[in-house]
Every structure is written in structure tokens, then in C-alpha cells.
Amino acid sequence: MRTHAELAAAFRALHARPGAFVIPNPWDVGSARVLAGLGFEALATTSSGMAYALGKRDGAATRDEVLEHLRALVANVDIPINADLGNAFGDDPAAVGETFQLVAPLGVAGASVEDATGDKSNPIYEFDLAVERVRAAVDAVRATGLPVMVTARAEGFLHGKPDLPEIIKRLQAFQEAGADVLYAPGIKTRDEITAVCSSVVRPVNVLAALPGMNLTVADLAELGVKRISVGGLLAKVSIDALLRASEQMQQGSFAFADGIKGFADVRQWLSE
């Protein structure tokens, strides 16, 4: 297994090389091992996928559960992992800093903090507070001396506030606060993505496979995107397959068994 420093260096190199790379989102150790075995160069956790695996709704996992999830992934795959920390389990910048201080020593190569509050009545943190929260994450990582990249997320498009100029303003402020990677999940048109990528100098992560998006990896790279993730989509694909198979069984059929592909191949990536 590579050291934390080696994984972190590999992760930074992915962000520095030409073109874009896909960073898929496993929801548990098994899916992480499969994705690593298939040759992906880095993985990102998904708060929704992990919550589903625990039988919880997105956002309901505790910080201790997330920390344990990260420990398990780091111990089981030898590629860089980026940690989805949601709002970092607290509104106050001090709480954000504490979470990043706990996460950095676990061996992850990156971790993200978002400006979504989790409160439907007030879904996005006020601008100055959002910036201070990102600065707290950056300062906390630097204080540990560990090479963890900080991703700052502007969540307006996912929470009823699709104001592109405001999103760009926030990403620029997050950049100034020290964020290594910038992410505005929910942007999906060529114009939106181009506007974001051209407004900052840090690598940009884009959430792919959104309804109506219809952009390939090559398309996104041409627009200036560096990192491409899919959020909870892979977990949802798995759940969708479960639902379809269950519907057939309830109707008295097992026809779904004829369509299973490649499960024997997966065994090579699973431990004894």
C-alpha cells in the first residue's frame, strides 16, 4: 500500500496533468474495491450513497460514521480518496476546522466542504460565513501539516438558488480563501460550465450525468473541467437494479437473473 504522502502526490498530479479525469463515487468498501480494480485512479465518497448503505437518508450519517467509513475505504484501496464531508458537521467555522483536523490524518488525499446548511428554510450559508468556513477548513489542514487538498463547494444550483453570478462570486472567494479545487454541483450547460471554469484559476470539479446534460468526458475537458464526479448516481443505479429485480420477483419471475453481467469478474477484487 502506498503512503499517505504518495497518495496525496498522485492526487495532486491528477489535477495538474492535461485533460479531465473521472473520480467515481463508491458507496461502500465493496464498490470501492471494484472501481479501483477497474482502473480508476481516484475515488470520492458520496454522502447520499453512504447514507443509503446505512439505511439512512442523505445527510443523516453522523460524523463518527463518516470517519469510520473513510478509515475503511483508505484501508482497502490503494488509490487516492476524496472525502465528501457535507457541511463538515457544523455551522460555525470552528466546527468545520475540527472536522477537517479529524479527517486529515485518516489518509484521505482530499476533502470537501460545502455552503449548504441542511436547513430547508435557509439552505445556503450567508456569503461571509461561507467563505470563513472554507478558510477554516484550509487552515485546519495546513495546521496538521498533511497534504490534503481542500475542495470548496457552492451548492446554490442544488438548493433552489441557481444564481450563476453569485456562484462564481463564491467560488472566487473560496479560491482566495485557499481552496485547492472548486465545485458547483448542478451546473450543466456549456455556457454555465465555461463561465465557471474561465472565472477561476483552480481546478474545477463538475457533477456529471445530470438530466439533460448530455456532455461526455471529452466535452467537459474541452470546456475547462478538470475533475468529473457522479455523486450518489452509482449507488442509485445499484438500488434501481434492486428495485427492478424485486418487482419481477413479486410478479413471480426471476428473468432478471439472465441479465447479470460480470459478477464472477468482481471476485478478483474482493478479499478472502
What confidence tens digit (pLDDT) does each residue in 178-232 have? Answer: 999 999 999 999 999 999 999 999 999 999 999 999 999 999 999 999 999 999 9
Place of cell 470537501: 112
Is residue 147 classed exposed, middle or buried when 0-12, 13-18 and 19+ CB atoms within 10 A define those classes? middle
Under DSSP, the state recorded for 58 is: T
Q: First and final CA of the chain: distance in angstroms?
A: 17
The mean pLDDT of 135-147, rounded to a whole number, is 98
Under DSSP, the state recorded for 22 is: E
Please determine, for residue 263, whether its predicted confidence score (pLDDT) is greater than 80. no
In 3D space, the residue among 69, 132, 146 whose CA is nearest the CA of residue 100 turns out to be: 146
In 3D space, the residue among 139, 125, 127 whose CA is nearest the CA of residue 177 turns out to be: 139
The mean pLDDT of 134-157, rounded to a whole number, is 98
CB of 150 closer than 8 Å to CB of 180: yes
Rounded-to-integer distance, Cα 261 and Cα 241, Å: 12
What is the phi/psi pair of residue 150, to 5°?
Answer: -100, 125
Chain mean pLDDT for the chain: 96
In the numeric block, which cell numbers belong to residue 237?
443505479
Please determine, for residue 261, whether its predicted confidence score (pLDDT) is greater than 80. no
- What pLDDT was estimated at residue 264? 72
CA atoms within 13 A on the CB side of 250: 6
Task: Identify the three-state secondary structure at position 246.
Answer: helix
H helices within the chain, ranges in order? 4-16, 29-37, 47-53, 63-76, 93-103, 127-144, 164-176, 190-199, 217-223, 233-250, 263-266
- What pLDDT was estimated at residue 259? 76
In the numeric block, which cell numbers belong to residue 124?
445556503
Task: Kindly report, residue by residue over 69-88, the tens digit of the pLDDT.
Answer: 999 999 999 999 999 999 99
In 3D space, the residue among 53, 56, 61, 65 whose CA is nearest the CA of residue 26 turns out to be: 53
What is the phi/psi pair of residue 26, to 5°?
Answer: -75, 160
CB of 125 closer than 8 Å to CB of 119: no
What is the model's pTM? 0.96
- What pLDDT was estimated at residue 271? 80
For 4-234, CATH gives 3.20.20.60
Please determine, for residue 270, whether its predicted confidence score (pLDDT) is greater than 90. no
Please determine, for residue 243, whether its predicted confidence score (pLDDT) is greater than 80. yes
- What pLDDT was estimated at residue 124? 98
Task: Kindly report, residue by residue over 169-185, the tens digit of the pLDDT.
Answer: 999 999 999 999 999 99
In 3D space, the residue among 14, 64, 73, 100 whose CA is nearest the CA of residue 114 turns out to be: 100
- What pLDDT was estimated at residue 31? 96
CB of 233 closer than 8 Å to CB of 31: no
